[in-house]
Chains A and B, each alone.
Chain A
Amino acid sequence: MDFSFGVILHNLPYLIAAAKWTLLISLVGMAISIGLGVFICAARMSRARWLAAAAALYISFFRGVPLLVQLLIFFYMLPHIGLDLPAIAAAILSVGMCSAAYTAEILRGAFQTIPAGQTEAAKALGIAPASYWRRILVPQALRLGMPSLINELILLVKVSSLASVVGIGELTRVAQNITGQTYRPLEIYIAAAAIYFVINLIISQLGRLAERRMQLAGGARLGV
């Protein structure tokens, strides 16, 4: 076996540069996921039956179909409905919509952990739902769901590799290109794996720090 570290060193800058796109996809995708996820979660828990059913359907579909298939459908469908988005935007949107289904369930679990007594107390004090949702429930749900949400972000980093299939020049795609030139798949893909690993390591460490900060600020943890 001749493993060439030189190949890795030489191409590392290109791989790291491509990692920017990986981060872009996962971070913006996560933002969309949370933003959309909160609404889907609210719809899912709403008392309007049709709304809850629609949300449940959304969640079931986006969790039931492989993300790769969703990405491909998205990509080829968009021009047909007249939306001319740049490839990267389409990819991020697709990833975000899929992840929102998972985020909605994470948040739903978090909301259900908040003791019902808190809502009762707010109602008894005459606080309006919009207000206590925004100031009491959502902040706590986010805090309780933090570990799972961090997990979801890590998942998005890994899943961003699928964007390579639709031609986006993120880490996996660039690794494929470099492999095509250097004929050193083992070294290059291991290097790419290492970069993904480091990114995820940093995210989970930051996540743990954020969790600890939130614990000091006071609040229960989901599933300790």
Chain B
Amino acid sequence: MPDQAPIITVRGMSKFFGEFQALADITLDVRRSEVLCLIGPSGSGKSTLLRCLNFLEPYDSGEVRMEGRLIGWQEGVVPRRPLPASTLREQRRQIGMVFQQFNLWPHFTALQNVAEALLQVRNLPRDQAMARAEAALEKVNLSDKAGNYPSGLSGGQQQRVAIARAIAMEPSLMLFDEPTSALDPELVGEVLSVMKAMAAEGMTMVVVTHEMGFAAHVADRVAFLDQGRLVACLPPAEIFGRDPSDPRIHSFLQTYRERNVV
């Protein structure tokens, strides 16, 4: 059962790309230890919302706070000024991110990929960093591939290394941006099981996904976005139930129903 105190609060957040409004007035909470899935049609702003949470995309108005601290912008400064780079880096260390394209560093082995931040950012001595990296790889069931380069790993394995890389830093929150969209279907399962295990251990996760099965069975809440607006944020039973409150949700889920996924 997720703890009720929110770890992330988003209030009235909007984001523009030039003239185009990608996100309009988003307000939601992410509760501790909950799994929140963001779903919606293409272009609805799901990934943009996710990337605003760790300020990979600077949001234009409203607030995103993590454990009370304002993300990305200096507190109380008008007109808005971004935080100095070092402070932003520090904020980001609390948040782990997994990308659709894995983004592993091809010139490092799996173990080196996982250990890099531990060495450079936490400044751990080499043996400690390697030990922690090995432990992280163990968690994603890839201990035997520690010495492999990304080119010698399947997509699913690469993504699991990317997950290990993020969790090695012991973040309070994990963001997943369509983690399985770039994978061949038979490799999706291994990544989803790692994510399920993390959820079971109480990791707070925000996941942008098209895997409705995962959203229906693992998420504590599902947020549906359409054209930059948050339409609903409810437990999966209500979103995927027979009678969703909003016709937009219904038509979006229709294709998934037809394929018998939900």
Task: Let me know if chains A and B touch directly in the complex, using CB atoms closer than 8 Å.
Answer: no
Residues of A near any B CB (own CB < 8 A): none
Residues of B near any A CB (own CB < 8 A): none
